Amino acid sequence: MSQNYETLLLNGDEAVSQAVQLLQQGECVALPTETVYGLAANAANAPAVDKIFAAKGRPKNHPLIVHIPDVSHLEKWAADIPATAYALAEQFWPGPLTLLLKKAPHVDDVVTGGLDTIALRVPAHPLFLSVLAQLDSGLAAPSANRYKQLSPTIAEQVSKGLKGRIAAVLDGGPCAHGLESTILDLVSERPRILRAGPITKQQLDVALGCDVEMPKQHVEVVPGNVKAHYQPITPARLVTTEQLVADMAELQGQNVCLLLWSEQAIAQAKATGLTASQWREMPREAALYGQQLYVTLYQVDQLDVANILVELPPQSDDWRAINDRLSRAASY
């Protein structure tokens, strides 16, 4: 079992080489990406990848994303690669786009959950890229959280969930995007988004010159892509601006925390005299909101409130990934 590790917190000049060494020894190390922290293990070392599942408590049939140093590694992991994959890699890698392709024959079932496809991306975080460049291999890495909990976007949040269960956490500061990568299926007949993320449908439509399929909510095509993910421990509920404004006076006496973004709701919170711990101001811009979402839910989870009420964000394309995660984090 992957218990009773000291779980080193790596930072400073030696951090990358220490992480590389542990990964070469077949250990799991949490690494920062531009989306969320990932729990990495050498994808060519099946027993090492096994440790990811043990540390997270993740069911064994849930496939993992393999992170590669650059596009030249694509053929090492995938087969029958379409030209569109190279075009997208050229435009979006390193970056928060994961491509689903047919897997190369040698790839171990532990990585793909026994599927004949593989999810691949080149992450954009400089520390993760340094680790990959030194290893010159692929790293399997799901988000560095215990199964079903929130994806971590700061090193502290990783430690909180996985301390004692993994060899080390490499601290790379807060993640730039704060939401998991967009997953694009290039194996299906028409390119199809399996998970909304920082790269939007509109960007992919333009890049591919076609109408990319976008399910209303990301579909459960494989085990692991389930609705009950991305949840804080405190029950969260999505509420419209109108409803929140109408209920604000009543909420004042309750043990709740409100995540507000609109001027209207924020003005009402102030006018009603909600205490500082009863509400949080969220950014009004989608990219910034996304960056703050998980870390805010994580922090509010420590407050011991009975409920988190989240003001329903705008519904436009650039807010899609946020609305997708919120619809999972909260009931409505």
Report the interface residues with ligand TXA, using CB under 6 A: 33, 35-36, 38, 62-65, 96, 98, 100, 112, 115, 117-119, 123, 141-143, 180-181, 183, 194, 221-222, 224-225
Q: How far is the CB of 168 from ligand TXA (least distance, A)?
A: 16
- Residue 38, contacted partner among Mg ion, ligand TXA, none, CB below 5-8 A by kind: ligand TXA
Q: How far is the CB of 187 from ligand TXA (least distance, A)?
A: 8
Q: How far is the CB of 93 from ligand TXA (least distance, A)?
A: 12
Residue 9: how many other CB atoms lie within 10 Å: 16
Task: Please answer whether residues 70 and 93 qualify as being in contact, where contact means their C-beta atoms are separated by less than 8 angstroms.
Answer: yes
Q: Which is nearer to ligand TXA, 112 or 323 (CB)?
A: 112
- Residue 117, contacted partner among Mg ion, ligand TXA, none, CB below 5-8 A by kind: ligand TXA
- Residue 290, contacted partner among Mg ion, ligand TXA, none, CB below 5-8 A by kind: none
Told to check if 143 binds Mg ion by CB under 5 A, we report yes
**CA-based torsion, 206, 211, 217, 221: positive or negative:** negative
- Residue 119, contacted partner among ligand TXA, Mg ion, none, CB below 5-8 A by kind: ligand TXA
- Residue 68, contacted partner among ligand TXA, Mg ion, none, CB below 5-8 A by kind: none
Residues 163-182 that bind Mg ion (CB under 5 A): none
Stretch that binds Mg ion, among 24-32, 93-101, 138-146, 232-240 (CB under 5 A): 138-146
The span from the CA of 21 to the CA of 132, in Å, is: 12
Told to check if 231 binds Mg ion by CB under 5 A, we report no
Q: 102: closest CA among 119, 85, 78?
A: 78
Residue 174: how many other CB atoms lie within 10 Å: 15
- Residue 172, contacted partner among ligand TXA, Mg ion, none, CB below 5-8 A by kind: none
Q: Which is nearer to ligand TXA, 141 or 239 (CB)?
A: 141
What burial class does residue 55 get, using C-beta atoms within 10 Å of its C-beta: 0-12 exposed, 13-18 middle, 19+ buried?
Answer: buried
Task: Please answer whether residues 311 and 260 qualify as being in contact, where contact means their C-beta atoms are separated by less than 8 angstroms.
Answer: yes
Q: Which is nearer to ligand TXA, 98 or 296 (CB)?
A: 98
Interface residues with Mg ion (CB under 5 A) are: 143
